[in-house]
Amino acid sequence: MYLPPLLTLTLTLMLSTTSSALQTRDILKPRNWDLRLLGPGCNPNASNIDISVFHQSGLYGADCEGLDTSVYNTTSVESVSWKSPGVDRYDLCMYSDAQCAGGNADVIRDGWEVCYPFTGWEGFRVVEGGGEC
pLDDT of the residue at 73: 82
Name the DSSP class of 132.
-
20 within a domain of the structure (yes/no): no
Count Cβ atoms within 10 A of the Cβ of residue 34 and give its class: 0-12 exposed, 13-18 middle, 19 or more buried: middle
15 within a domain of the structure (yes/no): no
26 within a domain of the structure (yes/no): no
39 within a domain of the structure (yes/no): yes
pLDDT of the residue at 5: 56
pLDDT of the residue at 26: 58
Which portions of the chain are predicted below pLDDT 70?
1-30
pLDDT of the residue at 104: 78
User: In angstroms, rounded to a whole number, what is the distance separating the alpha carbons of residues 129 and 7?
Assistant: 46
CB 95 within 8 A of CB 103: yes
Domain span including residue 104:
31-128
Reference 88, options 38, 130, 40; nearest CA is 130
pLDDT of the residue at 19: 39
How many folded domains does the chain comprise? 1
pLDDT of the residue at 71: 86
What radius of gyration do the chain's Cα atoms show?
A: 18
90 within a domain of the structure (yes/no): yes
- DSSP states along 9-25: HHHHHHHS-HHHHHHHH
Reference 67, options 32, 94, 103; nearest CA is 94
| CATH, residue 100 | 2.60.20.30
